[in-house]
């Protein structure tokens, strides 16, 4: 009876931790999924619930201490490469697909961006230039026709 119950408990804990991690994108809870898998293996091998809990706690902590810094470093590298790509957008000129007084959304290279107008009123069809990028927002100004 207890063994079937503990199998279900470890599956629920592992699944809940994985879903929580997917929902938060924080990589803090996935380590508990690994701990639950280890505890489940220990349970299948016939060890006591006390041993399963110890294995769960130790594996979760060990994976978190060793894995979390590595994952954060990898994510930081990816963020930096994305930021450098976005910096290449500065100076790009494109046609506004709608009017923008102060803020709005414009399509640039197939992607909709939140934009802030740093210059004169922009009408649909005007040429605009990207002057800076901050996060998911681009700052634009109207390009004066010569």
Same domain, 24 and 52: yes
Residue 20 domain boundaries? 2-86
Boundary residue ending a domain (38, 66, 86) = 86
Q: Which residues pair with 95 in a beta bridge?
A: 127
Boundary residue ending a domain (59, 86, 113) = 86
pTM for the structure as a whole: 0.53
- pLDDT tens for each residue of the chain, 146 residues long: 457 888 999 999 999 999 998 888 778 899 999 999 999 999 999 999 999 999 999 999 999 999 988 888 887 776 655 556 667 788 888 888 888 888 988 888 888 888 998 888 889 988 999 998 887 788 999 888 76
| Cα–Cα distance, 79 to 76 (Å, whole number) | 5
Identify the sign of the CA torsion 22, 26, 28, 30: positive
Same domain, 29 and 52: yes
How many structural domains does the chain have?
2
């Amino acid at each position: 009876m207890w063994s079937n119950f503990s199998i279900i408990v470890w599956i629920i804990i592992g699944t809940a931790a994985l879903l929580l991690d997917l929902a938060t994108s924080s990589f803090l809870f996935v380590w508990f999924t690994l701990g639950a898998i280890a505890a489940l293996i220990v349970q299948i091998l016939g060890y006591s619930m006390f041993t399963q809990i110890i294995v769960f706690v130790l594996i979760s902590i060990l994976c978190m201490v060793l894995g979390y810094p590595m994952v954060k470093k990898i994510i930081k590298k990816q963020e930096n490469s994305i930021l450098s790509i976005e910096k290449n957008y500065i100076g790009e000129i494109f046609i506004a697909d709608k009017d923008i007084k102060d803020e709005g959304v414009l399509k640039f290279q197939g992607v909709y961006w939140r934009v802030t107008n740093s210059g004169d009123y922009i009408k649909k069809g005007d040429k605009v230039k990207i002057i800076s990028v901050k996060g998911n927002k681009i700052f634009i100004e109207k390009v004066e026709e010569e």
